[in-house]
Amino acid sequence: MNLSVTNLSLFETDKYERQMFAEAVTSHLLEGIADPLKVHLQVKCMEDIIKKITSTSVYKDLVVSEAMRYGKSFEHHNAKFEVKETGVKYEFDNCGDPVLNQLLDHLSDIEWKIKERQKFLKGIPSAGEKILVGDELVTIYPPTKISTTSVSVTLK
């Protein structure tokens, strides 16, 4: 396969050009000019390529290093770049706080009880089932199942 990193220059577009491209693809699909399954495969391949590039620490480090040469915020090509902290997380394991530990234990117990109750409710017949809660007889029903139909693609 004869690929060049310069092929990525095809994607140096502005917001308007990206919108026009997306609309053209949709239009070609509606007019029967493009094969929906082939376009879906191509989109999935693009997503996979993007994930493979952007998920590596080498890529991330090189981008941050290069951006730092220009400062915290700058314009470059047709975009504004900003170097900033993202995805800040805190690790509480080393705090040694007994109150937090007790609350987390309670949370874990409650989450387990909720999952067990949800599993039980999934087995209720669609007509419902009468159960006694305290001194009250109530009718409970199974959860409503909601799904979306889509086409799954396994890339080879």
Question: Which pLDDT band holds residue 12 (cuts at 50, 70, 90)?
Answer: confident
Q: What is the span of the domain harbouring residue 105?
A: 90-147
Question: Which pLDDT band holds residue 10 (cuts at 50, 70, 90)?
Answer: confident
- The model's pLDDT over 39-56, given as tens digits with 9 standing for 90+, comes to 999 999 999 999 999 999
- Asked if residue 57 and residue 96 are part of one domain, the reply reads no
Whether 154 is in a domain gets the answer no
Percent pLDDT > 70 in the chain is 96
Whether 9 is in a domain gets the answer yes
d(CA 42, CA 38): 6
Tally the domains of the chain. 2
Task: Give the pLDDT of residue 84.
Answer: 94
Q: Considering 65, 82, 99, which residue would you say is the last residue of a domain?
A: 82
DSSP assigned state of 126: T
- Asked if residue 69 and residue 24 are part of one domain, the reply reads yes
Whether 128 is in a domain gets the answer yes
Q: Considering 59, 82, 105, which residue would you say is the last residue of a domain?
A: 82
The crossing angle, in degrees rounded to 10, of helices 36-54 and 15-30 is 150
Q: Which residues contact 44 (CB under 8 A, 6 or more apart)?
A: 153, 155
58: tokens are 């080498």
- Asked if residue 55 and residue 26 are part of one domain, the reply reads yes
Overall residue count recorded for the chain in this entry: 156
- The model's pLDDT over 57-85, given as tens digits with 9 standing for 90+, comes to 999 999 999 999 999 999 998 889 999 99
Q: Considering 62, 82, 102, which residue would you say is the last residue of a domain?
A: 82
pLDDT at 29 over 70: yes
